[in-house]
Chains A and B, each alone.
Chain A
Amino acid sequence: MSDGTTLLVILGAALATFATRAGGHLVLSRFRSIHPRVEAGLNAVPAAVLTTIVAPAAFNGGVAELGALAVAALASLRFGMTTLFAAGAVTLIGLRALGL
Chain B
Amino acid sequence: MNQEIRDGLRAAVPVIISAAPFGVLFGALAVDNGLSVFEAVTMSATVFAGASQMVGIELFGQSIAPWLIVFSVFAVNFRHVLYSAAIGRRMVSFTPLQKGLSFFLLTDPQFAIAEARYEAGHRLTFRWYATSGLALYVFWIAETWLGALFGRLLPDSHALGLDFLLTIYFLGLVMSFRKRALWLPVVLASSVASIIAFNVVGSPWHVSLGALAGILVAAAAPLEGVREDEANEGRADA
Contacts and interface: CB of A to CB of B under 8 A. Distances in A.
B148 interface: no
Interface string A34-74: 11111111111111111111111111110001001100110
Interface string A8-46: 111111101111111111111100111111111111111
A76 B177 CA distance: 11
Contact of B84 (A22, A46, A53, A96): A22
A8 B194 contact: no
A40 B198 contact: no
A19 B71 CA distance: 12
A51 B39 contact: no
A12 B190 contact: no
Contact of A38 (B35, B103, B219): B219
B218 A40 contact: yes
Interface residues of B, number: 108
Contacts of A92: 161, 164-165, 168
Interface stretch (B121-129, B139-147, B207-215): B207-215
Contacts of B43: 10, 13-14
Interface of B: 13-14, 17-18, 34-36, 39, 42-43, 46-49, 52, 56, 60, 63, 66-67, 69-71, 73-74, 77-89, 91, 99-100, 103-104, 106, 108, 111-112, 115-116, 158-161, 164-177, 180-183, 186-187, 189-195, 197-199, 206-207, 209-221, 223, 225-226, 230-231, 233-235, 237-238
16 contacts: A13-B69, A16-B77, A19-B74, A20-B78, A33-B233, A40-B219, A41-B218, A43-B86, A44-B180, A44-B215, A45-B211, A47-B214, A49-B79, A85-B168, A93-B160, A97-B159
Interface of A: 1, 3, 5-14, 16-29, 32-61, 65, 68-69, 72-73, 76-77, 81-82, 84-85, 88-89, 92-93, 96-97
